[in-house]
Chain A
C-alpha cells in the first residue's frame, strides 16, 4: 500500500465515527427544530410523528425566545460557568504557589488535594447538598444550630448577656431554593475542579526559570513583584488552558443541576433542554440549536486564545 493511503486508512474509523456522531444527531436536532413535534397530543395526534408536513419554520425558535425560562437558563449557564472559572483560577493559582515549595508531607497534601477531582459528579452533588449544605441535618444546619445554642447560653449569662441579647439568631441557608441552589452548584463544582487547576499550575510552576527568580531576589525584588512579574506571566498559558477545558465541561453541566435543583426553577441550558424533551421536542431542539451556538461562540473565543499554543 502506498505511503499516503495507509495513514488515512488508520485514521478513517476515528474520523468517520466522530463525523457520524456529530452530523446525524445534530442534523436531526436541526430538522426537529423546524417542525411541530410533540410526544403526546390528544388534540393533534399528527404532531406526534416527525414529518415535513408539520413544518413550523422559525416558530419553535420564537416560542423558546419568548419563554421566560430560556433567558433565565442562559443567564444561569453563564453565571455558573463564569463563577466557577473565576474561583478555580484564583484559588488554583494561590494554592499552587503555596504548595509548590517543598515542605514536610508535600506528597500527602497533593494526594489529599487532587482527590475531589475523581469523585463522580452525582456523588459530589448528593454529598454536598445533603450531608454538608442541608439547613437542618447537614453540617451547615448542625453548625448554625450550635452557634445559636451558644448565643442562647451567652444571653442568659450575667453582665455580658445584655450585650449578646442584641445579636440575632442565625438562620441556616436553604440551598434548595432557586437562587441559592445555583450557589450550591458553584460551590460543589469549584470544590471538584480547583484541584485540577492546582495540578496544572503546579506542573507549570516546576518549569519556571529558577535562575531568573534568583536574579530577581538578588536585585531585591519583593515576593509580590516576583509573583506579579515572573510567576503570573509564566502561568498565562496554563490559565488559558484551564479556562478552555473547564468551559467545555461546565457548559454541559448536568448531574449537579439535576440533583440539586430539580423542579425549583434554577436551570441551565442542558437542564432546560431535558425539560422540554419530556414532551415538546420541537422546542427542545430549538433550545439545543441555541446551546450549540452559545458553545460555538465560547469555543471560537477560546480556541483563538489557546489554539496556537496547543499546536506548538
Chain B
C-alpha cells in the first residue's frame, strides 16, 4: 500500500481538507439554528448581527411562555417511550419465533411486513380520522402510541430478526434441554445475548417515533400534540421570531441528534435489514 500512500498529494492534504469542508457544510444548518437560538428575535434578522451579537438565554427561558414547549415535549416523550416499549413487547417474541423456528412461510411473512411500510399513510388518512373519532380516541395518547407502534413494527421485527439470526441456535437448544420454557428462553437466554441488538432497535424506534410528522400532525389537535405539531404550527414566522423559533427547534432536535451519534452503526444494520454489513 506504500505506493498508493506516496503517489498522491491528495491523500495527505486534499482529502482531509475536502472531507472537513463537506462535514462542516452538512452540519452548518444545525450550527446556524443553534447560533440563532442565542440571538434575540430582533438581532436574528439584522445582517450586522449575523455573526457578532450579544448571546442571550432569553429564548430558552421563555419557551414555556412563547410556545408552551414543555407540554408538547411531555407529549412527545410519552408517545415515543410507550410506543417504543409496546413495539418491542410485540416484536421481540415475533422475531424470536421467526429466527429460531422459521417455517416455510417466514420469508413471505417478513416480506409482507415490509410491504406494509410501503402503504402510503395518506391513503388511509380519512378512515383513521373516522375510526379515531368514532371510538373517541382522536387526539389521545393511546391513539398516537398505537399508530406509532404499528408503523414501526415492521422495521423493529426486521432489525431484531437480523440480530437474532446471528445467535447460534445451539445455545437456545441447550436451554430447551434444561427444561426452560419459552418465556424463560426469551428472558434468560435471548435477551441477555441479544441485548445490544434489542437496545439499538429500541433507540432507533424511539428516534423514528420522536420525528414522526404525519400521524402526529393529522391525528392530534391539542391534548396529544407532539413537538412535530408544535413546529409545524409555527411554520411561517415571517422573520419575526427566528430567535425563539430556533431555540424551540434546538430543544426539540438536540437530544435526538446526540442519541443518533451513538447508534450510527445500528442504524445501518437496522435500516438495510442486515443486507449491508
Interface size on B, residues (CB 8 A): 98
Knowing A18-B154, A203-B276, say if A214 contacts B1 (CB, 8 Å).
yes
Whether B64 is near chain A, meaning CB under 8 Å from some CB there, is no
Interface assignment of B227: CB less than 8 Å from any CB of chain A? yes
Residue contact A119 to B30, C-beta cutoff 8 Å: yes
Cβ–Cβ contact B122 & A111, under 8 A: no
Q: List 13 A-B contacts (CB under 8 A).
A: A10-B97, A11-B93, A11-B94, A24-B127, A98-B22, A112-B24, A115-B26, A118-B256, A123-B249, A137-B242, A142-B50, A255-B228, A288-B125
Contact of B120 among A137, A259, A270 (CB under 8 A): A270
| B15 CB-CB contact with A under 8 Å | yes
Known: A270-B122, A307-B111. A120 touches B213 (CB 8 A): yes
Q: Which residues of B contact A (CB under 8 A)?
A: 1, 3-4, 8, 11, 15-16, 18-20, 22-24, 26-27, 29-30, 32-33, 36, 45, 47, 50, 90-91, 93-94, 96-98, 100-101, 103, 107, 109, 111, 113, 115-131, 149-150, 153-154, 157, 182, 207, 210-211, 213-214, 217-218, 227-229, 231-232, 234-237, 239, 242, 245-246, 249, 252-253, 256-257, 259-261, 264-265, 267-268, 271-273, 275-277
Given contacts A126-B231, A245-B271, A274-B218, contact A203 B277 (CB under 8 A): yes
- The answer to whether A103 has its CB under 8 Å from any CB of chain B is yes
Q: Which 3 pairs show the lowest CB-CB distances between chains A and B? A: A118-B260, A270-B122, A288-B123
A151 adjacent to chain B (CB < 8 Å): no
**By the criterion CB–CB under 8 Å, are B90 and A121 in contact?**
no
Residues of B within 8 A of A74 (CB): none
Given contacts A7-B100, A237-B276, 7 further A-B contacts (CB under 8 A): A7-B101, A18-B150, A18-B154, A24-B127, A106-B19, A120-B252, A291-B122
A118 touches B257 (CB 8 A): yes
Interface residue range, chain A: 35 or more
Contact of A123 among B127, B207, B253 (CB under 8 A): B253
Name the contact of A273 in the complex, choosing from B98, B116, B123 (C-beta under 8 A). Answer: B123
CB-defined contacts of A56 to chain B, threshold 8 Å? none
Hey, what's the 0/1 contact readout for A13-37 against B, CB within 8 Å counting as 1?
Answer: 1110110011011101100100000
* A238 close to B276 (CB less than 8 A): yes
When the two chains form their complex, are residues A25 and B124 in contact, meaning their CB atoms are under 8 A apart? yes
Is the beta-carbon distance between B118 and A10 smaller than 8 angstroms? Answer: no
Partner of B47, one of A146, A214, A288: A146
Q: How far is the CA of A295 from the CA of B118 in the complex (A)?
A: 6
Task: Kindly name the residue among B107, B246, B260, B265 whose own CB sees the greatest number of chain A CB atoms within 10 A.
Answer: B260
Q: CB distance B120 to A251 under 8 Å?
A: yes
Q: State A248–B115 Cα separation when bound (angstroms).
A: 9
B101 CB contacts on chain A under 8 angstroms: 3-4, 6-7
Q: Least Cβ distance of A151 to chain B in Å?
A: 16
B interface, by DSSP: helix, strand, loop or mixed?
helix
| Contacting residues, chain A, for B128 (C-beta < 8 A) | 25
Q: Are A281 and B16 in contact (CB under 8 A)?
A: no
Partner of B4, one of A114, A199, A217, A262: A217
Return the CB mask of A108-147 against B: 1 if under 8 Å, else 0: 1111111111111111011111111010110100100110
Nearest CB of A to B176, in Å:
10
The smallest beta-carbon distance between A132 and chain B, in angstroms, is 6
B129 — which chain A residues lie within 8 A by C-beta? 277
Question: B131 contacts A24, CB within 8 Å?
Answer: yes
The docked-state distance in angstroms from the alpha carbon of A255 to that of B36 is 23
Contact between B276 and A200, CB atoms less than 8 A apart: yes
Q: A105-B16, A120-B231, A285-B126 are in contact. Are A14 and B22 (CB under 8 A)?
A: no
Within the complex, which residue of A25, A125, A137 is in contact with B45, where a contact is CB–CB below 8 Å? A137
- Residue on B with the closest CB to A277? B126
Q: Are B232 and A122 in contact (CB under 8 A)?
A: yes
> Across the interface, do A130 and B237 meet the contact criterion of CB distance under 8 Å?
yes
Interface flag for A158 (CB, 8 Å): no
User: Which of A59-67, A82-90, A188-196 is the contact stretch?
Assistant: A188-196
Shortest Cβ gap from A186 to chain B (Å): 15
Residue pair A237, B275 in contact (C-beta under 8 Å): yes
